[in-house]
Structure 1
Amino acid sequence: MLVDDFAYPLPPELVAQEPLPRRDATRLMTVDRARGEIGERPFREIAALFAPGDLLVVNDTRVIPARLHGRKESGGKVEIFLVRRLPAEGERWLCLLRSSKPSRPGTVVSLAEGVTATVVSRVDGDTWEVAFSPDEGFDAWLDRVGAMPLPPYIRRESGDYDRERYQTVFACNRGAVAAPTAGLHMTDDLLAELRGGGVEVAPLTLHVGLGTFMPIRVKSIEEHRMHRERYAIPESTARAVAERKRNGGRVVALGTTVCRTLEQAAAADGTVPAGEGEAGIFIYPGYRFKTVDALITNFHLPKSTLLMLVSAFAGKELLFRAYGEAVARRFRFFSYGDAMFVS
């Protein structure tokens, strides 16, 4: 199976550059796999697509303001992109570095409020280990001076409003460097409406990491290897999934991050154990889903692993027909764009 098989034409003006004034003001494309039907409704009416007894699983990861700007002792500008905190003494991170001249071990970068970053060593490919000093109160400092890590197809600098809008309303566990974007449409009122209609809402945590930004660099899909991302499934969520698998009701994944976590952890009967782990599963057409019965997701980049996942869930022919409809109907694409409900 070739990566090029997952290309599609997209007018650049359909890539959403800003969030809409209201989270739930986006459009929702509906894709019925059994009937092969494609429809549309406002996202704020999504509760009508659920039935009492359904389970909605959400990703409660919180995006950190991972983009930092500083200067080397020579005066050259450096951008530091935090990827993942390392299990080492002090404040050490896996980072991407961007500067006019290549980075090297020992380089010291001056950052805001007197904090310095010292390049320790190259870890793998484009990633480096970086030590920050002083390391006391690092998270509070990062919240003050860091910029939200908007994806590269949003061609503007992040603003203060992105600190709220590039974050779900249920975000609480710090650690992601990209938002679980299907969750950006949800509001507290919509969640209350779902619960009032007999839908259980349960969290898990998957810290979205470097793989979100990495293109596939091979021609054959089977040769691609995913970056691993940390996840945690609470006992209450594991029980809720087991109850649906035992008694009926759908497990609805709010986003591909939730889908990947559940399918990574899934047993043959569709149940999932509570606990922590790393998700490195690569889902593409031919995969047999064990846990997820319906999927809410945004529209994804051509040739991306996320597009391949949704193609596996919806069926590639039906999904690409839906994407063609989305382009024709002028849906908004990617992180701040519109959504899709695949049932």
Structure 2
Amino acid sequence: MPRKPASSSHSPTRPQALANWLLFVALMVLVMVTIGGITRLTESGLSIVEWEPLKGALPPMSQAAWEAEFEAYKKIPEYIEVNGPAGMDLAAFKQIYFWEWFHRLWGRLIGLAFALPLAWFWIKRAIPQGYKPRLLALLALGALQGSAGWWMVTSGLTERTDVSHFRLATHLLIALFTLGGLVWTALDLKAFARRRSARPARLTGFATLVLAGVTLQLLLGAWVAGLDAGYIARDWPLMNGTFLPAGIDWSRGPWFAFTHDPFLLHFLHRWWAWGVVVLLVLLARRVKAKGSRPASIAIHSSFGTQILLGIATVMSGMAITFAVLHQAVGALVVAATVWGAHVIGRKA
């Protein structure tokens, strides 16, 4: 029997398979953001002072190797000025080393989980027309994220006892931007799998405004984290008994205060959150009007949980459980917002 000519269209199941793969990688990125929060909150991020993409995948395997890692750590300011005087020993060093090593290992696993299936889908010609550049861009974002992570770490190896809050924010925002790109592309592919005539969703002006508002809140949150500004007040809604905290240093100008002062940044992060809530409620209403009630519920649920976790984090004195969940749910807010933006940006 003569063989049928190959169809020029892709298999109906392959766009869905691509979407499922991207959503799985997005879940891995969410876990990565959570591990990053633990690494930061346990002050573990500077425990590995070298970047070894291959050799560094394994932890020290002998007592001598552990002692060599500890000796390297003893040369940086964090140990000299903070942990050394506090009496850190090898056992305590191993605890902080684990989280930084695990953070880097998970990043390597994300790279493999993206690159290897991408190569397979590419070879099998399973990628719909127009999606290859987007997938390559996501791969490049992953590589950029790894580089930004090391760039962040280097800021704390010579003159500081911690990392630059600007570099910390860059590292986090790239991760969340990547998460958003993964979710958006997966949603486009799911729509394409349902209907081959479906066009990719567009980013509307209103959605851009909402995403900009969320991004500003994420930036403020990253700066609060990098400056340990969450520790300066344990009451809510007031800060140390007043609405506007008394400790803001305006002596070097408003811009310096906005980018460096922990009191002002904590205050702004608290109250801009309500501006973001307004934007997200408006987005959710538009999403529901478009007939996507699950996306609307996801938006409301994520920001509601995030607000409660933020308050709990402050009032608990930065209890690590609440603080880590606050960072993790922040990533869920990003994913839900991207979902909503996608809904209002796609054609009926």
The TM-score range, normalised by the shorter chain, is: under 0.3
- Mark the structure with the bigger radius of gyration: 2
TM-score normalised by the chain length of structure 1: 0.25
Name the one with the larger strand percent.
Answer: 1
Name the one with the larger helix percent.
Answer: 2
TM-score normalised by the chain length of structure 2: 0.25
